[in-house]
Amino acid sequence: MTAFKRRLSVNFIFEQLQEHIISGQYRPGQRLGEVDLATQYGVSRGPIRDALRRLAGVGLVTSAANIGAQVRSFSLAEGKAFYQLREALEGQVARLAASNAGEQEKQKIERLLKEHVQVINVHPDRAYLQEKKDRDFHLVLAEIAANPLIQNLLANELYPQLMLLRSSHCVVKGRGAQAFLEHQRIAEAIYANDEELACLLMQRHVQASWQTFFNGQQGDR
């Protein structure tokens, strides 16, 4: 905790805080005082401020002047808006992936899906997201889409926010088996380099994900 090498500190602190936030260890609305964190990480307030600003930049934290930062809390309306955004981006990702995919990329997807079917057989209703970066279907597609801007946005902003959204609203059961089937259909469209179909299927996939989330919330209360 105490052996940072200068600028690494803010990166480390940022990642640490992000981890705590998206894992639900810090609850939405919880205040993130600078002095607390500073003493906690054995560092001055400067790097803490930097890290908090970065977290605010990626939407994991809200911060107001003279008030400070707190873990962002998503309303259901914001959740809907978020999924609408995700629908647009991931649709474009699927379209671009279908456009760019050559033999190598198709095999990569194929291998990934073969791995996933194993996991699904063991945990049929896992949420099926908290995997390593390069083992996630959506992120692999984003890589194949070969658009660094969109890839960045998805990996560094939308995905962390999505995890926070889920951990905030106590999503218990995923829809692993169904999601996997949809992934397969999307993959088939990509194998055929069918941009429009890939885009459409991905959009529906995201919509279905939102429906599951939304229904889960309605049922809760």
Partner DNA sequence: ACTCCTGATATTGTTAACAATAGTGTGGTA
Partner DNA sequence: TACCACACTATTGTTAACAATATCAGGAGT
CB of 71 to DNA, least distance (A): 12
82 binds a second copy (CB under 8 A): yes
| Residue 23 main-chain phi, psi, to 5 deg | -85, -5
- Beta carbon nearer to DNA, 16 or 217: 16
6 binds DNA (CB under 7 A): yes
Query: Which among a second copy, DNA, none contacts residue 31 (Cβ within 5 to 8 A by kind)?
Result: DNA
Q: What is the dihedral of CA 30, 33, 37, 42, to 10 degrees?
A: -170
CB of 100 to a second copy, least distance (A): 11
CB 79 within 8 A of CB 143: no
Radius of gyration of the chain (CA): 19
In whole angstroms, how far apart are CA 97 and each of 21, 106, 129, 180?
A: 31, 10, 20, 18
List the x/- string, 127-156, binding to a second copy by CB under 8 A: --------------------xxxx--x---
Tokens of 38: 């500073």
Query: Which among a second copy, DNA, none contacts residue 139 (Cβ within 5 to 8 A by kind)?
Result: none
Residue 68: its H or E element: strand 68-71
82: closest CA among 60, 97, 101? 60
CB of 81 to a second copy, least distance (A): 5
Query: Which among a second copy, DNA, none contacts residue 187 (Cβ within 5 to 8 A by kind)?
Result: none
Query: Three-class SS of residue 26?
Result: coil
67 binds DNA (CB under 7 A): yes
Specify the stretch interacting with a second copy by CB under 8 A; choose among 12-20, 32-40, 81-89, 127-135.
Answer: 81-89
Residues in the site for DNA, rule: CB under 7 A?
4-10, 31-36, 43-47, 49-50, 63, 65-69
